[in-house]
Structure 1
């Protein structure tokens, strides 16, 4: 009988491993795991752990490791199918009926595994033979100890088109081709894929050889690739396989750290230096499947990239692919090595301790994303800065988890705001943009606002009239925003650019707005007292901040209480509405006036777009009002 991997995975998922082992072994809770004295060897203190989330047990004393099925076969002594049937009964699952085609596929896979095992034996024997001198000399230059060479299964493929083919003739050409060991060319005899290369076997999570990687040894073959991997086969999918995972996983789970390097020789170099939890992709950028496999081992894998341009590109691709997959408690740490250095260079020149130091200084995923986008090009113009903001928004939009997406966006836009709108010098008075300068006039000697000396243009007049038209609707929201900025001054610099476009019709409100923009994050109660603010609507807020203002109203009557309380997200939304609604209304008025002179498809379409935008903004304002009413 052949059982599909999917069915077996479902079986393992439905069985609680701690409960299964607890039937015959006394287990005790230890944080998120369970501990027990190992049933596979005699011990007095528990070193046997059970992790239900990951579905495995592991003994740090004797190395026993496995899942529910392995427990039933190794500890209970049951044959595989009997173990599966007993677990299926516990999980209330039906064992699938025999499938002849599945059995044939399973038998073929076993045969392919036998073929790969035979090829590995051939390569290892060739390394120790007379023809393997060049490969042994190369290994000597790398300084790998004999134990590492043996553990990783280094071998050698002779520089012959028929060496392996002749050695494995009993398996037949068709099977060798299917395993990726021979290359089939129409009209010619198949020939060996790997020739004149140092060979490394690639294993599946169960430790079976499924593919090979070969490094060229002859400097004369300049047209040949330096590294060559097996093609995808029924056993090997390079986008789902991580080199050295079967060896690295136990240590990685113990240390709660798994390291991802760019190539398999980097993983070997780290292992030779005593850092044994390193894995590597196989000639491709890190894939989504590989990221998911890494998270099964450790919640925050450390991606270690070379310090060259290729390494930086690999880091960016990994970040982009990880963002949609992010979930609570799972992320990535990014380590960039010094320029033009790989892990082996760091270990050779600075020692393993220096490598450990670098691995411990990893950058968080959000920090790496910010640095990557910020440094993508010069930010000397407003257009370039706007492009950075757009890229950050597009990247965060790919995150599927809602909470993580919102947190990433807020953090990144805060960083953007600090970069694009740096805090102004407190000693210098706040100056609005040229287009808004003196729009409301100037102050006289007593601090009172005087009308502008120059008459307002048509656009300015329309804008002031527009503010007046919607004053009853927008004024309470503006009051709440200004109160919120007083309660949370850090938000002032974040929204300074947008706030500079606001044109309150009330002089005291205009005075307060200019004062806040001038003081910025350094705002305190003394500043407000010194400014002589006497706004009745904001009086209670100022009073709460320690400022005594005449004619104060009841604070509880202030609308939009959450905004007034300083909620950063709601302040941002309210500022957007305050700026966008007048703009849309002004554009709507212009579009209507233009349509009166000449009605065209374009002008009609623009009118309809603005109508929809106005409806959407008013709906958002209404939603905020309803939220206010519920407070």
Structure 2
């Protein structure tokens, strides 16, 4: 009996290829992959490459997956190789029973059934009855190419529509029930459609085969979105929407991004983010994380900027900890409040989502805030409980070296946050309190000193978050910081930006240090009076809001009017490049709001309007 495809897929998933190959030959890292001397023919120069799910020798042509490697390396037949790997992976090999053989035949048939169902749904979308669904997809900004690439369709509005469509192909209601398209009524009298009056989204496995469907109602019915039920081909825990397309994008070096829903994935793919995927109505599972790590060592999880998004991020982070290794982790990105990826790229173009990705933080940086959010730490008992929670989180990581690094990072931040402020102990504490320091003579607060502090805050935000230069480049170039060293720093930053470097703070600081500006830039970032937006873990929206705030303070009404006129000229001369469009539009909006606020006298009323001086 041939083994079920699902079993073989599970076996390959549980058998990391590189460690298996390293039993026979020494491998070294080569980018995301591995290389070494081929174990199947004598060679001195490595030409044997190991990828996530296959190996290939460019010398002798040997090629295959984990099963074929064991067959070639050990001289075993297929059943023996499977038996050995299954034993190591802790999997039970399905028994060769008549029932198992029947299940296998049905599985082969089900792929064909689902393929025919998908074609029927797609046909219906372009018939008069699908006009409303097609209009909905076009209103959401989808092109014909995108609709075709994702195989979007229409279920039909009549009961029994799909069974009637496929009856001529010899597909029975019983087969549709097994494929998850219909459900037998109570009492066994006929079948009920599971997808009715819905836009249809085919769900494919990593090999591109349709395994189920999702549907969105066009009316007010609930639930708005539904997925097909669990079947012999479809498991919500093990699959990701868009995985087949993301696999190809990841191979080309695109970031792998996990978002929430079908339309988010589709909108991002259309905007050029081909590595977007989504879970299927569940929180991200360990099985889905394993799939993500097969694509890239550091996928980005993208969450809403509200409280629910924060809870989802914390849950995903804690679920990932027991699966982390030194070669695979996560990044976490936060969307602006009230936005999802679909609306963000519609309003601000690809550049808007690029900004979100540029602001993604490694799990090691984001974890402290996720674990401490909403947990008070004002009493010894509360601090002890929080410290225990942080240590427990780090201890969940199996690799002891990595766990120790996480524990150190988390506790360092814990102690920094718990450390009493200058002047004594915690609130209400008198024990160990030092006598108050004598008053210092502070320089007088002058207009020049205030402007210098505002310029320093703006430059510190820029150095800490250079990703925002994609939006503010023109305005940053127009700033007169009133200081020759800051002016040189501005010019160097703009020159660095023009060279096309990755917009990374560490790399920018290294570049500036290399040309003699280390003392200036580190001094800017260490100023204790900086706004929160200049901290490394500030949210992208807060960073942009603060930058434009200080920019408005530094420019004044007349200069803002000149900026606005220049922005309008740029808008009138606009190209069709969506990134350029988004930047010009955002600059127009920001400058209009700043000028309006300044004319109303509101520009200096926020808490960050006058940072500490002296």
3-state secondary structure, aligned to 2:79:
coil
Aligned to 2:2: 2
Aligned to 2:365: 367
Q: Within 5 Å, give how 1:611-630 maps onto structure 2.
A: none
TM-score (norm 1): 0.57
Q: Within 5 Å, give how 1:25-424 maps onto structure 2.
A: 32-33=33-34, 51-56=49-54, 68=64, 88-96=71-79, 99=96, 101=98, 102-169=100-167, 170-187=170-187, 188-218=189-219, 222-255=220-253, 257-422=255-420, 424=422
Deviation at 1:6, TM superposition (A): 5.0
Note closer, same or farther for the CA distance 1:17–1:132 as it changes in structure 2 (3 Å cut). Answer: farther
CA contact 2:110–2:175 (8 Å) conserved in 1:
yes
Deviation at 1:243, TM superposition (A): 0.9
User: How far, CA to CA, are the matches of 1:14 and 1:434 in structure 2?
Assistant: 58
Which deviates more, 372-381 or 84-93?
A: 84-93
CA contact 2:257–2:299 (8 Å) conserved in 1:
yes
Deviation at 1:30, TM superposition (A): 5.9
Q: CA RMSD in A?
A: 3.6
Note closer, same or farther for the CA distance 1:199–1:91 as it changes in structure 2 (3 Å cut). Answer: farther
Deviation at 1:179, TM superposition (A): 1.1
Can you list the C-alpha shifts for 1:407-448, whole angstroms capped at 9, x where unaligned?
1111111111111114645xx899x9767899xxxxxxxxxx
CA contact 1:259–1:304 (8 Å) conserved in 2:
yes
Note closer, same or farther for the CA distance 1:16–1:336 as it changes in structure 2 (3 Å cut). Answer: closer
3-state secondary structure, aligned to 1:255:
coil
3-state secondary structure, aligned to 1:351:
helix
User: How far, CA to CA, are the matches of 1:154 and 1:242 in structure 2?
Assistant: 17
User: How far, CA to CA, are the matches of 2:134 and 2:9 in structure 1?
Assistant: 42
Note closer, same or farther for the CA distance 1:132–1:6 as it changes in structure 2 (3 Å cut). Answer: closer
Can you list the C-alpha shifts for 1:148-172, whole angstroms capped at 9, x where unaligned?
1100000001122211122233322
User: How far, CA to CA, are the matches of 1:323 and 1:16 in structure 2?
Assistant: 22
User: How far, CA to CA, are the matches of 1:340 and 1:413 in structure 2?
Assistant: 33
Deviation at 1:223, TM superposition (A): 4.3
User: How far, CA to CA, are the matches of 1:242 and 1:205 in structure 2?
Assistant: 8
Note closer, same or farther for the CA distance 1:226–1:305 as it changes in structure 2 (3 Å cut). Answer: same
Note closer, same or farther for the CA distance 1:160–1:14 as it changes in structure 2 (3 Å cut). Answer: closer
CA contact 2:17–2:52 (8 Å) conserved in 1:
no
Unaligned runs of 5+ in 2: 22-27, 37-46, 57-61, 81-94, 435-614
Aligned residue-pair number: 394
Deviation at 1:89, TM superposition (A): 4.5
User: How far, CA to CA, are the matches of 2:69 and 2:433 in structure 1?
Assistant: 81
Larger Rg computed on CA atoms: 1
Can you list the C-alpha shifts for 1:240-265, whole angstroms capped at 9, x where unaligned?
10111111112113216311111121
Deviation at 1:405, TM superposition (A): 1.7
TM-score (norm 2): 0.58
User: How far, CA to CA, are the matches of 2:9 and 2:243 in structure 1?
Assistant: 20
Deviation at 1:140, TM superposition (A): 1.1
User: How far, CA to CA, are the matches of 2:9 and 2:215 in structure 1?
Assistant: 34
Deviation at 1:272, TM superposition (A): 0.9
Can you list the C-alpha shifts for 1:297-333, whole angstroms capped at 9, x where unaligned?
1000000112233322221211110011111121110
Say which structure, 1 or 2, has more relative contact order (CA 8 Å, 6+ apart): 2
